[in-house]
Amino acid sequence: MNVLCTTVGLIAIYLYVSFVSLVWDGLDRRLVARMQRRVGPPLLQPFYDFLKLVSKESIIPRDSNKMFEASPILALAASITLLAYTPIGFGPILATKGDVLVFIYLLALIAFIRVIGAVSSGSPYAQIGAQREVIMLASREAPMMLGLFAILWRLAKLDVERPFSLETLYQHNIWEIGTPLTIVGSLVLLIVFVFWLASEIEVGYFNIPEAETEVAEGPMAEYSGRHLALFKLSNSLKEYASASLVVAMFFPWGLSQYLGISGIEAMLVDLVFHTIKVFMILFVSMSLFRAITGRLRVTQAVNLFWSRILSASIIGAILLVIDILGVIG
């Protein structure tokens, strides 16, 4: 029964998230177009793109190996698995079977599968893109993990059973502690996470691996047709999942407890409300960021992460530690 529930839930969430995340992609393109005084494509353009790509001929380069064809399937599979560990307005489906480390692992796994697909294509452009992808991954993980673990460790002091479970974020949140130091520390970490999210979905400053005008879509240079379609879908799912983490950490409040409903209805209301919050955080971290910033050089991005964002993360973590130790106030 439990396994059946998990299966049905996972498939339902996959269908819902793939629909919603593609709608967001369309909305994002329209919003950015409006910011640049263009009209922009129709809202459902990502769906048309997906269907068009599926119907086209897939060209496999002569020099590529088996992993080139397998990696789109693996990337989408990893994205769907990620959804089972993603908080979506309520605890993840497999909340008791895996914690936040599995979530981070799967996010990194998707990037690695993209890299494997890129190096298997035999194109220099794809290899440069793959190189940049790995470098960005190595740079963005450190501040993000420090911030995440600092917050979860702070929440663990509130007597929770499983501090690293993503379900904990819905039982306690960082703002309810209410001391000035935690609030300032959390605000600093929120900024860190906005930057991390932008680099995770590779927009604006961090559009380095897929720099279209520079390395011709980087890792995706040789992909076409249905292989590219699967990668695009997997990217959209990853976008939603990583934004969900930020929402669950900083804005976990649900509507159902205020409306006084429970059961399936409450889950649906929370899911929709969560989606709206995800759209809002993606609006800041993706649309606005994409519209107002240009691409950095890879060295500048690495420098930004290791010297500024990591220091911000350390400052946020230290503020939380000082709050626990009770040195001030």
Binding mask 273-302 for other proteins (x = CB under 8 A): ------------------------xxxxxx
Helices 124-156, 180-200: crossing angle, 10 deg rounding: 160
Which DSSP category does 90 fall into?
S
Q: Residue 276 CB, nearest distance to other proteins (Å)? A: 26
Binding positions for other proteins, 8-37, rule CB under 8 A: 10-11, 14
Residue 324 tokens read as 């626990």
Burial code (b: 16+ CB inside 10 Å, e: under 16) for 282-296 equals bbebbbbbbbeeebb
In the complex, the smallest distance separating the C-beta of residue 97 from other proteins, rounded to whole angstroms, is: 4
CB of 44 to other proteins, least distance (A): 18
Q: Note every long-range contact of 109-116, with CB atoms under 8 Å and residues 24 or more positions apart, other chains counting.
A: 109/78, 110/75, 110/78, 110/79, 110/82, 110/234, 110/238, 111/137, 112/137, 113/71, 113/74, 113/75, 113/78, 114/71, 114/75, 114/219, 114/231, 115/219, 116/67, 116/71
Q: Which stretch binds other proteins (CB under 8 A): 22-30, 118-126, 238-246, 283-291?
A: 118-126
Q: How far apart are CA 92 and CA 17, in angstroms?
A: 13
Comparing CA positions, the residue from 241, 287, 304, 269 lying closest to residue 86 is 241
The window from 2-10, 194-202, 254-262, 272-280 that contacts other proteins (CB under 8 A) reads 2-10
Considering only 22, 94, 189, 320, the residue that binds other proteins (CB under 8 A) is 94
Choose, by CB under 8 A, the member of 40, 41, 91, 225 that binds other proteins.
225
Distance of CA 322 to the CA centre of its chain: 30
- DSSP class of 176: G
Restricting to residues 139-198, name those near other proteins by CB under 8 A.
139, 156, 161-164
**Region from 96-104, 169-177, 251-259, 283-291 binding other proteins, contact rule CB under 8 A:** 96-104
DSSP per-residue codes, 280-322: HHHIIIIIIHHHH--PPPHHHHHHIIIIIIHHHHHHHHHHHHH
Q: Residue 158 or residue 226: which is nearer to other proteins going by CB? A: 226
For other proteins, which residue of 5, 12, 43, 138 counts as binding (CB under 8 A)?
138
Comparing CB distances to other proteins, the nearer of 1 and 39 is: 1
Q: Residue 228 contacts by C-beta under 8 Å, 6 or more apart in sequence? A: 53, 72, 220
Identify which of residues 81 and 313 has a Cβ nearer to other proteins in the complex: 81
Determine contact, residues 183/175, Cβ cutoff 8 Å: yes
With contacts defined by CB under 8 A, how many residues of the chain interact with other proteins? 66
Which one of 6-14, 23-31, 33-41, 197-205 is the stretch in contact with other proteins (CB under 8 A)? 6-14
- Tell me whether residue 40 or residue 122 sits nearer to other proteins (CB atom): 122
Which residue, 146 or 301, is less far from other proteins as judged by CB?
301
| Binding residues for other proteins restricted to 34-93, rule: CB under 8 A | 54-63, 72-74, 76-81, 84
Angstrom distance (rounded) from CA 41 to CA 48: 11
**Shortest spacing between CB 143 and other proteins, in angstroms:** 13
- Of the residues 46, 87, 98, 219, which one makes contact with other proteins according to CB under 8 A: 98
CB of 284 within 8 A of CB of 120? Answer: no
Place of tokens 């895996």: 98
DSSP assigned state of 175: G
Site residues (CB under 8 A) for other proteins? 3, 6-7, 10-11, 14, 54-63, 72-74, 76-81, 84, 94, 97-99, 101-102, 121-125, 127-128, 131-132, 134-135, 138-139, 156, 161-164, 216, 221-222, 225-226, 229-230, 297-303, 306-307
